[in-house]
Structure 1
């Protein structure tokens, strides 16, 4: 089924704005829940469990709605975003959050909109305006400051966490750019369901670890895994795809500005953790770089 795209300059309509808001809230909660579940599940095991739960829910809904299989033209974008965004992104983020607190991870990962603009300039030949280059420099400085704030941590393990969060940001950005063309041909539910299924298949090598961790994890950690699969994955990625199908990738990326603030607040209330002062400064620079890149 062909999707009719709105004009790239048009603002989000009411339904798309509600969908984007739902995504932002659920993705913010995911950073906190991942941090909590990470003590019971390995990074790959948690990603596989989350994706399996999400894929079962999404494919079941796809069957109920009788939307069927996407047309051939949609598959390159769905497959690539499935491996990079659903698969690699989740493994890297889970691993990164075992090294750094949820708020710091969210601030670093949310340089994604800037990377989306960079990929657009390269792959879509949109150019590299001065604001984009300046924003990249500011965000890079922020990542360096955040990394320095972690260098006195446990054997430099937190520096690894920052690197993994940067990898997560890169795969998130690539996933958005690759998913956007697929939504011209597939419905949001089709793109999300099959992307999630492909991500789960890519994570199948972690099956022994998942089975091992499930046998030892407390009930609360298993509930964390189920929550991640049903809400931040099945629901939030579908509402994201719905909103993305009605606007541009860059405009959708900008809606994620609120995620780090929500994560810091949730992590403080639910986990009792706050980023270090220098990490907050570095994270703020990361987000400032995104804002600079979006000016004009």
Structure 2
């Protein structure tokens, strides 16, 4: 009986860890996929194509699940902010940034987001500021900065691209912070679908541009947009929401410091963006910071 109970207690932790791993891998691949299709899709239309695909996939999943909890007015407000700011604005800004920056540098800059999430969660969600979290965040961010300095081959970063990445990071932090309270009562799948649908509505003005881009795009680029909608959006935002509903926002946010080193490793063979040896060292430092942040 004791063994069975222990297994039952361990099982949720394993599921949450799997959700975190899926999220990190999928989001790392998103930076590479956005760069891969940038010649055929403009930032706004690409965001709309990604969100439409994600919404369709999540709609099918929601119909199969047949579970719906009616949101309160407060929850509707938070979901609206989450969908418009994170899934809508974030995607357009990030797509525009990756027109100007390599995938590794963009991932590094956007990943100041976890620091902002930890600060907002500590201030507004009552999670506080545990010392291991703060130490781990600083160490991991140092690794991410090292990646950013050398990960793009030493070339100077485009200023507008940097600003767009920083705006994306802020949108991510705001979206994650307002999403957390909603997940205390509403199912993760429902919240993800609502956010994706709202993001689609926000980016709907880009529909004419999307039709034009689809008309001129290659089959490989169209497949890239579908991939962005299915994996980094429908799947990864769903696994993120699942994990966020079961662990502190600040601690979960810090785990995404793994995204930049993984992005550089993926961009190396796919995009030919060769990482500098110091970027690999930065990845090791970032991993160390994530490990430190997980200590209690």
TM bucket normalised to smaller: 0.7 to 0.9
Partner residue in 1 for 2:99: 98
- Distance between the aligned counterparts of 1:253 and 1:72, measured in 2? 27
2:261 is aligned to 261
1:83 — aligned with what?
Answer: 84
> Root-mean-square deviation (CA), in Å?
3.3
Q: Work out whether residues 265 and 275 of structure 2, in 8 Å CA contact, stay in contact via their aligned partners in 1.
A: no
Within a 5 Å distance, the mapping from 1:1-296 to structure 2 comes to 13-68=13-68, 70-124=71-125, 158-274=158-274
Q: Matched residues in 2 for 1:138 and 1:22: separation?
A: 23
Cα drift, residue 267 of structure 1: 0.2
Residues in 1 aligned to 2:143 and 2:17: alpha-carbon distance in whole angstroms: 29
Contact 2:90 2:171 in 1 (8 A): yes
Gap change, CA 1:42 and 1:118, over 3 Å in 2: same
Cα distance in 1, alignment partners of residues 160 and 147 from structure 2: 12
Alignment CA distance shift 1:157-1:253 (3 Å)? closer
Distance in 2, Cα, partners of 1:14 & 1:105: 30
User: Is the Cα–Cα contact under 8 Å of residues 45 and 213 in structure 1 kept in the other structure?
Assistant: yes
| Residues 1:59 and 1:106: Cα distance change in structure 2 (over 3 Å) | same
Q: For the Cα contact (< 8 Å) 1:51–1:196, is it kept in 2?
A: yes
Count the aligned residue pairs: 283
Shift of 1:128: 6.8
Judging changes above 3 Å, is the alpha-carbon distance between structure 1 residues 47 and 22 closer, same or farther for their aligned structure 2 residues?
same
Listed as ranges, the gaps of 5+ residues in structure 2 are 1-9
Cα distance in 2, alignment partners of residues 221 and 174 from structure 1: 30
The CA distance in 1 between the partners of 2:220 and 2:143, in whole Å, is 35
Q: Indicate if the aligned counterparts of 1:192 and 1:238 stay in contact, CA closer than 8 A.
A: yes
TM-score, normalised to structure 1, is 0.81
Whether the 8 Å contact between 1:141 and 1:285 is mirrored in structure 2 is: yes
Q: 1:105 to 1:11 in 2, by over 3 A?
A: farther
| 1:266 to partner: Cα distance | 0.4
Residue 144 to residue 160, structure 1, CA distance change in 2 (3 Å): farther
Would the aligned equivalents of 2:111 and 2:256 in 1 still touch at CA under 8 Å?
yes
Q: Which runs of 5+ in 1 are unaligned?
A: 1-9
